[in-house]
Chain A
Amino acid sequence: MPLDLDTRTQLIDGVRRFVTERLRPIEAQVAADDAVPDAVLEEMKGLGLFGLSIPEEYGGLGLSMEDEALVAMELGRASPAFRSAFGTNVGIGSQGLVMFGTEAQKEKYLPGIASGEIVTSFALTEPEAGSDSANVQTRARLDGDHYVLDGSKRYITNAGRASLFTVMARTDPDRKGAAGVSAFLVPRDLAGLSVSKPEKKMGQQGAHIHDVVFEGVRVPVENLLGAEGEGFKVAMQVLDKGRLHIASVCVGVAERLIADSVAYAAERKQFGAPIASFQMIQAMIADSKTECLAARALVLETARRRDAGENVTLEASASKLYASEMVGRVADRAVQIFGGAGYVADYGIERLYRDVRIFRIYEGSSEIQKLVIARETMKRGG
């Protein structure tokens, strides 16, 4: 249920204040150290950010998609690395459990996920399975009352801190493609599970991705999430929701880049006048603002429809495609408006330019979104 306007305003104000006073001032430090300070992670837990999308009965906020989108937009105003710290708990790491978990599974894990005590990761991507997500090679072999997992996963966000993984593995090797894949809840402390060192990335320093390797990991049968063979369905529904969250973050980052650009253009003088007075600068600001408003409207409309119970697979993909491409263009223009300063690290614009590049790739690349949009549009006949 969406929040009433007063409560929503207070919630958004609270998040905005935290972002402005606590997160923005340490962005450069987080990028340089490649780590979000523990004290800030604790503050995020205290604030309740890890539990945004966990139902209230399990200690979360149970936000509607629209409210979650609005919060994500505010969080987008700080370096995306901060959001990533709890992003998996809000999105791909928890939603499979929320949507498909048994009562026992939910009771066991959701309160810890909501408080941030348990950090979650979503392990779908493999060396041979990325955009072709049905090509999962990790095996899950039933052995008595356990499944035995063997295989490796790649680019798994927050794996270094995670204590619970949602893992996609093939239970039926005879069935190629989606039908043979199942989802599992895998605690970090099981024998045979190992996490590699974090990858060096282009941007979002402070957020980490790792390889996760499973060597004869014995997972109790009660940790199967959904029915056997339902893994792909779990993954797709989780990603549906995640796409709206990512699209919202894109809108937030774009809004921040536009605000920064406008502030800089008003102060930076060339030819004896602020560059904001030049029409070619204004044209860039106008393009960025218009596209950002369009993305915001698309995301919020889709979120409201999802809250109303409609199937938004098409619209969620369209939101993710448009918002992630939009923020790429906005970041590019921001660098252009800042000029030389946009290329210098001190101003933070080049950092955001690098940070936003991943939005067009993860949780479904732009190309995959287009396939989904086309397929769904043809299915609907227009």
Chain B
Amino acid sequence: MKVLVPVKRVIDYNVKVRVKPDQTGVDLANVKMSMNPFDEIATEEAVRLKEKGVATEVVVVSIGPQQAQETIRTALAMGADRGILIVTDQDAEPLAVAKLLKAVIAEESPNLVVMGKQAIDGDNNAVGQMLAALLDWPQATFASKLEVTADKATVTREIDGGLQTLDVSLPAVITADLRLNEPRYASLPNIMKAKKKEIAMKTAADYGVDVSPKLKVLKVTEPPKRSAGIKVADAAELVGKLKSEGVL
């Protein structure tokens, strides 16, 4: 069974994001970039499937700048077998990403796609669902547990108020939630060996997909600064304040 894992290069989750002065986007100059944490979880799950003998090959694909090679290397160091980088200079929108992935899937014919439920930069939570629709494959999003057999996947999903368990027939698209697993630290020997694994370099044009933006960003702003709080003397004053502020 072949598993495809799409991974995205995003601002490292530890970095405090700064908005560009002209409000056109986020300042990426000299900022540490890493693999999207949900994609790391997806990669870990795929590698575990391989270690269990369920999957035979794990292929990672990234769409982004040249430097997204580093993100692919990280996945290879964790245990993925090979990578595909589709180089684009601009940040591809979810629909373009889904179309490119569909084209990759046409070539690679994986039995399963495991991917992060969303990237922590755009927080769109869109590509997995769009990809399943374009492929007309079953989807199971927000997976917190995954069991895979030859022809189906049993997926526990985190939903409002509890857990839902679905059986989906393969091939299918699964998106990973936070609690699916705790990703490993790539060992230092595996980081060194990852250098020898293959990464195929492609462009969007190779797949005949138009990645020009369809959405227009009007403005990006910092969240409003929190103003200082006030102290109240007793419960009665608190209730009064809450009423006068219209909270109660």
* Chain A positions near chain B (C-beta within 8 angstroms): 3-4, 6-7, 9-11, 14-15, 17-18, 20, 22, 43, 46-49, 51-52, 59, 61
Contacts and interface: CB of A to CB of B under 8 A. Distances in A.
Contacts of A20: 14
B192 A46 contact: no
Interface stretch (B69-77, B118-126, B140-148, B158-166): B69-77
A49 B186 CA distance: 12
Nearest to B73: A10
B70 A46 contact: no
Given A22-B185, A52-B188, 18 more contacts: A4-B195, A6-B70, A6-B73, A7-B192, A7-B195, A9-B70, A10-B70, A10-B186, A10-B191, A11-B192, A14-B185, A17-B185, A48-B189, A51-B189, A59-B189, A61-B188, A61-B189, A61-B192
Contacts of B77: 10, 14
A112 to B, nearest CB: 15
B187 interface: yes
Contacts of B189: 48, 51, 59, 61
Contacts of B185: 14, 17-18, 22, 43, 46-47
Q: Chain A binding site: helix, strand, loop or mixed by DSSP?
A: helix
8 contacts: A6-B195, A7-B192, A10-B186, A14-B77, A18-B185, A46-B185, A47-B188, A48-B189
A7 B191 contact: yes
B188 A48 contact: yes
A15 B188 CA distance: 8
B205 to A, nearest CB: 26
B187 A10 contact: no
A59 B187 CA distance: 13
Contacts of B69: 6
A59 B193 CA distance: 12
B187 A48 contact: yes
A331 to B, nearest CB: 26
Contacts of B195: 4, 6-7
Residue from A7, A15, A46 having most chain B Cβ neighbours under 10 A: A7
Nearest to B32: A13
A11 B191 contact: yes
Q: Which of A4, A7, A10, A61 has the most CB of B within 10 A?
A: A10
A57 B152 CA distance: 42
A43 B188 CA distance: 12
Interface in B65-89: 69-70, 73-74, 77
A287 B77 CA distance: 40
A10 B73 CA distance: 8
A376 B185 CA distance: 43
Contacts of B192: 3, 7, 11, 61
A185 to B, nearest CB: 25
Contacts of A9: 70
Contacts of A11: 188, 191-192
B71 to A, nearest CB: 10
A46 B189 CA distance: 10
Nearest to A71: B188
A138 B89 CA distance: 68
Nearest to A17: B185
Nearest to A22: B185
A14 B184 CA distance: 11
A14 B70 contact: no
A9 B14 CA distance: 17
A284 B78 CA distance: 42
A278 B196 CA distance: 52
A7 B195 CA distance: 7
A49 B69 CA distance: 25
A146 B113 CA distance: 62
A354 to B, nearest CB: 29
A7 B197 CA distance: 12
B187 A46 contact: yes
A17 to B, nearest CB: 7
A343 to B, nearest CB: 30
Which among B69, B73, B192 has the greatest number of chain A C-beta atoms within 10 A?
B192
Contacts of A61: 188-189, 192
Among B14, B77, B187, residue most surrounded by chain A Cβ atoms (within 10 Å): B187
A137 to B, nearest CB: 40
Contacts of A18: 185
Contacts of B191: 7, 10-11, 14
A336 B195 CA distance: 45
Which 5 pairs of residues, A with B, have the shortest CB-CB distance? A48-B188, A48-B187, A48-B189, A10-B191, A7-B195
Interface in B11-55: 14
Contacts of B188: 11, 14-15, 47-49, 52, 61
B225 to A, nearest CB: 18
A161 to B, nearest CB: 21
Contacts of A22: 185
A4 B192 CA distance: 10
B186 A14 contact: yes
Nearest to A62: B192
